[in-house]
Structure 1
Amino acid sequence: MLAALGLVAAGSAAPAVAAPASPAKGGGNPSAEHVPGRAGQDQGLDSTECKFGGKNITSTPWSLQRVLLDELWSTGKGDGVTVAVIDTGVDKGNPQIRPALIPGGKDFVGKAKSGTTDVNGHGTRVAGIIAARQKTGTGFSGIAPEADILPLRYTGSEDPEEQGNSVTMSKAIKYAASQDVDIINISSDTVKKEPNADLEAAIDVAVEKDILVVAAAGNDGADGKLENTYPAAYEGVLAVGASDRNNDRAFFSQSGEFVDIAAPGVGMVSTVPKGGQCSADGTSFSAPYVAGVAALLYEKYPDWTSEQIASRLQQTANRPGLASDARLGWGVVDPVAALSSDDKPQSTPRPDEPKQSGHVTPMSLTVGESETERTQRISVYVMAAGTVLTLLIGGTAIAARDHRRKRAAANGPADTTTSTRH
């Protein structure tokens, strides 16, 4: 089951912000309040044990198997691009993510100061999907394995009385904007599905500085209802839903008109504190997948705006229809297509043109006989009638000849004497 934790700072009237669930095993549970079904509160749908400091998964995750990585990385791996991960912190003890961490991280709820402590594990997973370094013995790495991560811990403190909320998230967003990062990843949302002025103002600061803000759409979508979640639904934010192996909406992914794009969010392998890897589900892990692809685009097109980067991601996504819908947005992100498309930027995604040339129009299904079938039937009848008539005429002629021969035979030989009378 998808689990969720809503965290509320003691003595604070600020709206609570949903925080990630702790793993099935290990890492502890820093929550003071349980709120089922929140965004960013993700763990595996199965009961497999997640051990911090455990082993790496040797195979390549399905979310990477479907991508031609050599082609994807032909123009770069995210070098020089900085992604701020606003989450439960990013543990520096995992060797795959440690080289990606840069100075300047910050802790807004605890005493770690640098943001490189993660007792929950959620932020370390998010960061790994973006920028985990390639390592011998595992098929897993980040989508942008040379990008930099700025760890900002807004929730997930060891102290139950020092849990994050919209205030600490807002502070983290504004701080990230002050550090001139390229991308901000937020894999959480507010417990109350309603706008919050302070949080929206913080988002506006980042958007005005041309920073791409990527946020998880949420995990409350099992009922199929269309609802906004925040900060994903704020103007200027790239809201990411979760897709499964068939490029369909993951059953838990929140649907709504605010959803901009989707990305793999089921069985997502990533790094955990102290070393090792685990698998989990949730839109929390779809958002960093998109952020990682965005980092590759930033390296290839350093002069593009955040709006143009977002538009390229949406324009090249795989979608079942011609335009956007409330389930998958503009479709499931296609990393290779995004990087291999033309070099002309666009500010907004456009619906696809209906395909006409070379399009085969299926024959309409009719209950009665079609004109072609009727013509074919009449032709058969005419040919059959002609054949019968020919047989009848031939048969009659033969019968008449035989009749004459029989009659002649019955009357004897014919008289051949010539008259000589004059």
Structure 2
Amino acid sequence: MPSTERTEVAVPPTKRVLLVGAALVTAAGAVAPAAAVDDAGPRPRAPMHLTGDGACQIPAEQIKGRPWPLQRVLLDELWQDGKKGKGIRVAVIDTGVDDKNPQLTDAVDARAGRDYLTKGKGADPTKDEVGHGTKVAGIIAARPHKGTGFVGIAPASTIIPIRQNDADNSGDSDTMAQAIDHAVAKGADVINISQDTTKPLSRTSVLAKAVRDALAADVVVVASAGNDGLDGKVKNTYPAAFDGVLAVASSDRNNERASFSQPGDFVDVAAPGVDIVSTVPGGGQCTDNGTSFSSPFVAGVAALLKSRHPDWSPAQIATRIEQTAERSINGHDNYVGWGVIDPVRALTTSDTTSPATSPTPDPGVSKAPPPDTAAFSLAETSQERSERYATYTVGITVVVVAVIAGAAAALREARRRRNLRA
């Protein structure tokens, strides 16, 4: 997530939406593929899958160092207005959010939360048996804590914990829709959804309606793209592929798509999703991988933008994040969308006017150069490493052969001289 200055490239309106009064109007070109959307009527509910792939000991030891994604962000510049997301409420619809972790105790508004898995008195949105939701929440709002370099992107924001899924994928698209409605009712400014389903959902599905209602209420909706991308096949995942949702893929340390990240034309941006450190239930931190942990990076940036620009619409906030992302190619890419997010640039880019709700091409910058970081790298790929080792092997072999040949020649010469003396 570099913060160096780049030429800004306008983003064509592929998935953005315009809010006109109480009506929701799709921007030009915002038409979902016919194969994925059927408006003949609601489809059956779809199972929702968590998009993180790891587990760790709970509670965990503290990780002392600053995680690599945060090393790339100048936090003083990111938080230069001093707000750090204060006053912004971010709903985390997930496996619950543990508030016993010291970095989240002051961040979680348990009374505003909701547990859709447990009925009656045992319901508790701060019960997180998986640890997934607690990791997601930490990336957004973890408070600074002695003994660790880890901190959330918006460490003064408030988390609304909504327990809607578990390790058995008990949640589905209907309970997800209920959770979104609840988040809006409790005053969420941003909603993070680190779950997905590949089952096609129509515009008339209950989940699609809940997303539209959230956007109409000026709530930014951020969702993970999914982890089924190893085969490289393009496909839609939901709710990320719905119009107006800020869909997030995973990037690695080289600002390239993580191998597992699901590609598709619905992908808007990418964010770090490999070796991601975050909070776990009970205390401490551990490392995980997945688009589940890329999405909250973007949700945290959205919270900071909402705090600084409370009058901006969800589409304007999405536009700013997309236009300030780091690109290695011109235009949109199915793997990382409009690029890897640059939090500092998103917060510090000077505008005389607010971002458009639906970006238009900007003449003169359509051929922007790739980011400087693409030209300079201290890292090497496994292929480059193998080639380097092969070069060493060949070089050493040549030297050894030369030494042996030289020694043999010297030995023959010595024998020849002895024979002459004899």
TM bucket (normalised to shorter chain) is: 0.7 to 0.9
Q: Cα offset for 1:113?
A: 3.1
| Alignment match of 1:42 (pick from 53, 72, 78) | 53
Contact 1:323 1:351 survives alignment (8 Å): no
Task: Give, in whole Å, the separation in 2 of the partners of 1:64 and 1:284.
Answer: 17
Q: Cα offset for 1:41?
A: 3.7
Task: Give, in whole Å, the separation in 2 of the partners of 1:167 and 1:296.
Answer: 30
Contact 2:52 2:289 survives alignment (8 Å): no
Tell me the SS of whatever aligns to 2:160: strand
Aligned residue in 2 for 1:183:
190
Task: Give, in whole Å, the separation in 1 of the partners of 2:123 and 2:214.
Answer: 22
Tell me the SS of whatever aligns to 1:167: helix
Aligned residue in 2 for 1:61:
67
Aligned residue in 1 for 2:37:
none
Check if 1:133 corresponds to 2:143.
yes
Contact 1:214 1:238 survives alignment (8 Å): yes
The aligned length equals 318
Aligned residue in 2 for 1:169:
176
AA in 2 matched with 1:177: V
Task: Give, in whole Å, the separation in 1 of the partners of 2:264 and 2:96.
Answer: 29
Distance 1:202 1:59, change over 3 A: same
Task: Give, in whole Å, the separation in 1 of the partners of 2:249 and 2:361.
Answer: 19
Task: Give, in whole Å, the separation in 2 of the partners of 1:356 and 1:278.
Answer: 38
Task: Give, in whole Å, the separation in 1 of the partners of 2:138 and 2:269.
Answer: 20
Aligned residue in 1 for 2:341:
333
Identity of aligned residues (%): 53
| Alignment match of 1:320 (pick from 314, 325, 328) | 328
Contact 2:188 2:219 survives alignment (8 Å): yes
Report the TM-score, using the length of structure 2 for normalisation.
Answer: 0.72
Check if 1:151 corresponds to 2:181.
no
AA in 2 matched with 1:219: N
Contact 1:15 1:190 survives alignment (8 Å): no
Distance 1:172 1:355, change over 3 A: closer
Task: Give, in whole Å, the separation in 1 of the partners of 2:103 and 2:164.
Answer: 23
List alignment gaps of at least 5 residues for structure 1: 1-12, 21-39, 45-49, 358-422
Task: Give, in whole Å, the separation in 2 of the partners of 1:106 and 1:82.
Answer: 15
Aligned residue in 1 for 2:13:
none
AA in 2 matched with 1:229: T
Contact 1:144 1:296 survives alignment (8 Å): yes
Distance 1:43 1:351, change over 3 A: farther
AA in 2 matched with 1:286: S
Contact 2:115 2:123 survives alignment (8 Å): yes
Contact 2:118 2:124 survives alignment (8 Å): no
Check if 1:345 corresponds to 2:332.
no
Task: Give, in whole Å, the separation in 2 of the partners of 1:234 and 1:191.
Answer: 12
Task: Give, in whole Å, the separation in 1 of the partners of 2:324 and 2:359.
Answer: 9
Q: Cα offset for 1:290?
A: 0.3
Check if 1:73 corresponds to 2:79.
yes
Contact 2:46 2:173 survives alignment (8 Å): yes
Distance 1:207 1:356, change over 3 A: closer
Aligned residue in 2 for 1:405:
none
Q: Which has the higher contact order (CA 8 A, sep 6+)?
A: 2
Check if 1:253 corresponds to 2:253.
no
Contact 1:312 1:349 survives alignment (8 Å): no
Tell me the SS of whatever aligns to 2:255: coil
Report the TM-score, using the length of structure 1 for normalisation.
Answer: 0.72
Aligned residue in 2 for 1:222:
230
Contact 1:14 1:167 survives alignment (8 Å): no
AA in 2 matched with 1:244: D
Aligned residue in 2 for 1:278:
286
Q: What is the CA RMSD across the aligned residues, in angstroms?
A: 2.0
Aligned residue in 2 for 1:378:
none
Check if 1:98 corresponds to 2:105.
yes
Distance 1:155 1:349, change over 3 A: same
